[in-house]
Amino acid sequence: MSEPQSQPAELANLAAAIERAGRDLALAEEPSRFIAALDAGAEEQE
Amino acid sequence: MTDWTIDSLAGAIRGGKISPVEATEECLARIRRLDPRLRAFITLDAAGALGTAKALEVEATAGRWRGPLHGVPLAFKDLCHVRGLPTSCGTRTPEYFAAEHECTAVGRLTDAGAITLGKLNMTELAMGPFGDNAHHGHVQNPWRPGHVSGGSSSGSGAAVAAGLCLGALGSDTGGSIRLPAACCGIVGMKATYGRVSRAGAMALSWSNDHVGPMASTVRDAALLLQIIAGRDPRDATSSGRAVPDYLAGIDRGVSGLRVTVPENFFFQGVDAEMAAGVREALRTLEGLGARLRESRVPDPQVMNDVCGVISRCEGAAVHTRLYRERPEELHPVVRARLDLGFRIPAHDYLQALRLRARLTRAFIAEVFAGSDVLIAPVIPEPAPPLAHATEGPIAELVQRQSHFSRLTRSFNGLGLPALSVPCGVSRSGLPLALQIVGRPFGEATVLRVGHAYEQSAGWHRRRPPLD
């Protein structure tokens, strides 16, 4: 199977983006807080 | 069929002006005439559809009505498990996917009286925004043959636009409902993450997947969403939050509603005609009483990267077996996307999931503290020629895919409701479109804005030149 030439670059770019954005992530941050964010930000029903 | 909407056809059936069998026969005749060139369907179930239509006709004659879609012909993306029909997910294998139970969204629509015409074409494994498919034929844009339909719910977009069915289901992991809706000049909605059950639909990325309606008007999309939304015990991520009446307030207009127009990212590098179409639509909304506010929004590219990591890792996990055992069956671009998913470290995947939570809180707080909806383009340019999706080195094709879906992907990560609505036609005869994004579970407001614009602008009355 041939590997597209861009893959190492794309992989490195994604890793760098996650590294950059995650540098100051709080220790308490966890994936389930995504659902909590949706619930907390929900539009009031009329 | 091109003159009917779901709403008007359902009313006409109730009023005895047209029967479920007549409606179904009309759709089937149109499919037979147009689909050999559009390639919207993978499986056509003419016998099953007519059988259901006859049963519904008998019930109607006896005064028994199953629900608001009694006798309305629909079709479903070929990743929804529909009892008795194969589910290829756009792969070469007709029965690639099977679920223990029928797709919940499909079941809710048919329980409401819808007739299943068949299963609709899609990008292989839902991986790609253009709608090309080497196994089942590239779906053609009904407005201009030789141009992409958008994907991955390509057949859904083309079939509704061409009047082959009255509405359809699509799925959206990075824009796959909104992109074909935008390319084909119809309405497509990705509701809030968890608003619509994904049970019985193939997963591409369980963190980003959404199932949703595609139809020719906002009202029809609202009608379909009303039926499919709500808690489903078969999908643990589905929300138990009460489903409001989406049609009750849809005619209330936009007077006083606050609209954020993003200064950064969403209009950058966008085709001039597309940007002008969206800005003209914003002026129309302003004329209807909406209050526009231009402001910067948190950089969507960060969420695009986060979504990229999550989708690739989860997609690789879901389709490991096909990738390992029959890689030669996969399109090279799809194989490349899966391949990348296997190489991303677990640490990056988990960081991406943690980041998603923080980015979502920040986006909601910054954008929706002073705003009811955000409006932006859906696609960076009108539907490009098919060669743009199929010809060139793999690395370049992957890049083009990423570019074409860059305006939609972040809203999958954010889980926010987003509606694609037509807002014009380019000089080359291809649809322009805008997306209306709301706060979590703010579908009613999003639909209300979309409906007000649509009724004022009237683009939904235009049809592709097929007849």
Q: What is the mean pLDDT of residues B151-175?
A: 98
Q: In sequence order, which residues have a C-beta less than 8 Å from that of residue B98 and are 6 or more positions away?
A: B81, B87
CA distance B65 to B85: 25
pLDDT in tens, B197-218: 999 999 999 999 999 999 999 9
CA distance B19 to B173: 37
pLDDT in tens, B275-292: 999 999 999 999 999 999
pLDDT in tens, B349-378: 999 999 999 999 999 999 999 999 999 999
pLDDT of residue B98: 92
Using alpha carbons, list the distances in angstroms from residue B299 to B35, B151, B455: 41, 25, 32
> Nearest-CA neighbor of B203 among B344, B46, B57, B317?
B317
pLDDT of residue A46: 53
pLDDT of residue A10: 87
3-state SS, B10-29, equals HHHHHCCCCCHHHHHHHHHH
CA distance B399 to B445: 34
Of B171, B176, B311, B420, catalytic: B176
Segment holding B438, helix H or strand E = strand B431-438
Strand order in the sheet with B258-262: B41-44, B115-120, B73-77, B167-172, B210-215, B187-190, B418-425, B431-438, B373-377, B258-262, B291-295
CA distance B17 to B11: 9
| Both tokens assigned to B299 | 């950089």
CA distance B109 to B115: 9
Q: Label residues B109-124 b or e (16+ Cβ within 10 Å = b).
A: bbebbbbbbbbbbbbb
| Residue A8 C-alpha, separation from nearest chain B C-alpha, in angstroms | 9
pLDDT of residue A6: 56
Q: State what percent of residues in chain B have pLDDT above 90.
A: 99
Lowest-pLDDT choice from B232-236, B330-334, B404-408: B330-334
Q: Are B184 and B161 in contact (CB under 8 A)?
A: yes
CA distance B86 to B83: 8
CA distance B97 to A4: 28
pLDDT range class, residue B231, cuts 50, 70, 90: very high
- Please tell me which of the candidates A4, A34, A43 has its beta carbon nearest to residue B360: A34
A4-43 residues touching B, CB cutoff 8 A:
4-7, 10-11, 13-15, 17-18, 21-22, 25-26, 29-43
Inform me whether the C-beta atom of residue B340 falls under 8 Å from chain A C-beta atoms.
yes
